Structure 1
């Protein structure tokens, strides 16, 4: 392998173009854009002028076997992520897949198995893990500041989309094209942060409403309720049909509460565990002494770019992966279970 990692982009639509443009602009250290692949002939003609000198392919297999790449970024429709990724691993290439890992868990598991067998780097574009707001929340939780987990409640309805958005492609918001709606297209990042901060629930009950706000066949609103072994609960509510939307996450434990909203983390630290205080307090309406603080965060630069840079650094310098592809199975488990719960009404 040369000193610069050669990266090909497969699927040069909105996200694929963004990744290709970022690479071609020299924004990723020790990496170069080395090839592009798209099945659309008209798009390939456009790419000739947009990326002069970059080899273009209309067939995925041709790119994978051409020897032009050390790694690929997959930015195709969801169903193709595991199909192309498995072939890439079989050709000895490192893989960075857009989210979600797949549409169905069985396909995601096959993707993971291929990665394990190849020995190559496997990464997924769960870029919200690079947001300093969520990084700090995770540090506080893992550091025991919140104590025993009690409740997780995320209202994430700022994914507003118009009907024009859904009409922009025949594959959009269809079961055969995307494999789902807001849970599979917009909210995978949030589902990932849910489990990254609070862990995976033992059971869930969900209500996914199809075409509530738009003329589409998949869900544009979803409500998920989760339960944990220790009695903790989680509520996750998302929609593409509310404006103005809300992005507010509240997490409580027996040692305090945190609220994440608008780049601010509000933290209440209890000086005594609530469960202990509850049974030892001598007054019926006693208040637990506590401290309050606010922390503001801003995320500079490209979140996608940070994941790509980390992907490259892991391959070349063994930097720990921020978003291992195997971990994409968890957020997909949440969405798949939500669909099943909603469809079976249980």
Structure 2
């Protein structure tokens, strides 16, 4: 018996989830819900799929054992909480919520034994990030000294932001690139290196697009043990790149997503030793080798498969719900730092961020350009 799944929100991502559920060995699409009639209409002629005009109606119906929440950010918590309280298994699209306080509320909802709350952090399936995480955690090349990540391949045209009145607004999304595109890398950053304990960010709010939220971010990160990092992301560059550099005491790792390889430049002695013992300009000798990785992993399909396996056989989740809090807190802290032009310590007060966000929402003016509702082909984004 396959797990009966409902998809709440069948816009861009929700429609993709429906596609990934086709012919799935462990799960079957039995219901969809959307507040927009035109989107629901695509399933009107399919007798195997029940159609609802709201997520709450789908949850109450009892026709599903699990739901995927793929709606605008601010509705994630209410829908996921209702589904958990109804005894359903839940997968939430990133981010878990738009602000810390809402995420904390969701994570406090009691779950029955075996009941699952999962997140769609598909980049965790990339074997390169898994390898780097293992090397960092195990100190294979010594302790972490620095990390630097440039993710500027999230290009978006103005038409993308004009395709929904909730997009790129404080009221509708709660932020820009940090909440809509970069959550993948913010999750990986916390997963591989741990959550920073302070940040200082420069945010471009509508620097490249006619929007009020951030479309470019350059940040300095501080981690435990005086480890430093930099993080740069943008939706206004092309072609852009996704390049991670990790400096450890005995090696520098470089991974660029355009190549299926991690470059490992290993030093003959630890850098800390060389600093103390070498002659003035004597760099330690290095050896460069290539660590081949097999593509970028199973991505969304693999996380969806894992969700099904966790429900059916108790498999360990790739991205459990609790993991969503650190990356969301980091996103909120970077946004606040950029807006206030201040260094922000983490953990960030949920109440402080809520007060700031509410002030932005109250001051936000309606968009000057017309909204042209559209479903976008996301294949070029993954």
| TM-score, length-scaled by structure 1 | 0.94
Give secondary structure in 2 for the equivalent of 1:79: helix
Work out which of the residue numbers 19, 32, 35 in structure 2 matches 1:21. 19
The reply on whether 1:132 has 2:130 as its aligned counterpart is no
Shift of residue 229, structure 1, vs aligned partner: 2.4
- Counterpart position of 2:71: 76
Say if 1:235 and 1:117 are closer, same or farther in 2 by CA, change over 3 A: farther
Question: Please, which of 22, 27, 37 is the counterpart of residue 31 of structure 1?
Answer: 27
Matched, 1:228 2:223: yes
Do structure 1's residue 279 and structure 2's residue 276 form an aligned pair?
A: yes
Classify the secondary structure of the residue corresponding to 2:164.
Answer: coil
CA distance in 2, matches of 1:240, 1:118: 41
Going from structure 1 to structure 2, the CA distance change for 1:117 and 1:235 (only over 3 Å counts) comes to: farther
Q: Say yes or no: does 1:205 pair with 2:200.
A: yes
For residues 1-346 of structure 1, the aligned pairs below 5 Å read 3-23=1-21, 25-26=22-23, 28-49=24-45, 51-114=46-109, 116=111, 120-261=115-256, 262=258, 263-281=260-278, 283-299=279-295, 302-346=298-342
Deviations 1:245-271 (A, max 9, x none): 021110001111100012321011223
Q: Secondary structure at the match of 2:115?
A: coil
Give unpaired runs (5+ residues) of structure 2: 343-382
1:190 & 1:31 partners in 2: Cα distance?
28
Number of aligned residue pairs: give it: 340
Two-structure CA RMSD over aligned residues (Å): 1.6
Aligned residues of 2:245 and 2:255 also touching (Cα < 8 A): yes
Secondary structure, in 3 states, of the residue corresponding to 1:287? coil
Q: Note the C-alpha offset of 1:301.
A: 7.0
C-alpha deviation, 1:302, in angstroms: 4.7
Aligned partners of 2:302 and 2:174: how far apart in 1? Answer: 27
Shift of 1:341: 1.2
* Aligned counterparts of 2:38 and 2:271: Cα–Cα separation in 1: 63
1:293 deviates by 1.0
Q: Quote the Cα distance in structure 1 between the aligned partners of 2:41 and 2:2.
A: 27
Q: C-alpha deviations, 1:36-57, integer Å up to 9, x for none?
A: 11111222222224x4421111
Quote the Cα distance in structure 1 between the aligned partners of 2:164 and 2:154: 18
1:298, distance to aligned residue in structure 2 (A): 3.8
Q: What is the TM-score of this pair, normalised by structure 2?
A: 0.86
Q: Secondary structure at the match of 1:158?
A: coil
Deviation at 1:104, TM superposition (A): 0.8
How big is each residue's C-alpha offset from its partner over 1:200-251, in whole Å with a ceiling of 9 and x where there is no partner? 1111111111110111111110112111221110100000111120211100
Per mean C-alpha deviation after superposition, the further-off stretch among 234-243 and 134-143 is 134-143
Following superposition, the deviation at residue 291 of structure 1 comes to 2.6
CA contact (8 A) 2:125 2:298 kept: no
CA contact (8 A) 2:14 2:70 kept: yes
The answer to which of 297-306 and 253-262 deviates more is: 297-306
The Cα shift of 1:119 comes to 5.8
**Distance in 1 of aligned mates of 2:80 and 2:122:** 19
